[in-house]
Amino acid sequence: MLTARLSPRVVLPCEQANYGKSSEEAVASVKALYRDLKLEQAFFDYEQASHERLTATIDEQTLLPKQVLARLQTQTAVTLIDCCGSF
């Protein structure tokens, strides 16, 4: 099975033929490719690491109340979930 890696963009034939198309078959094909490449897990791992770095930065800073930044962090996460959803 293929695994997603951070590297220069490579366009696979399946993606080139189906990406950006709205037919059910094209959408299913691209979603299957994303699942095979484990892109959802790669994004989750990236999101989790980013959250941990941001939380550490909020804890270390002294300019603003931590509650303000923590609330912005939570609102941003909720907006991303509402916007992007899941695979």
pLDDT by residue, tens only, the chain of 87 residues = 445 555 555 656 666 788 788 889 988 988 888 888 888 888 888 888 888 888 888 888 788 787 887 787 777 765 555 555 544
- Give the pLDDT confidence score for residue 16 in this predicted structure: 72
Give 55-76 pLDDT, tens digit per residue: 888 888 788 787 887 787 777 7
**Amino acid symbol at 21:** K
Distance CA 32, CA 28 (A): 6
Q: How far is CA 70 from CA 65, 75, 76, in A?
A: 9, 9, 10
Report residue 25 as tokens. Answer: 């078959």
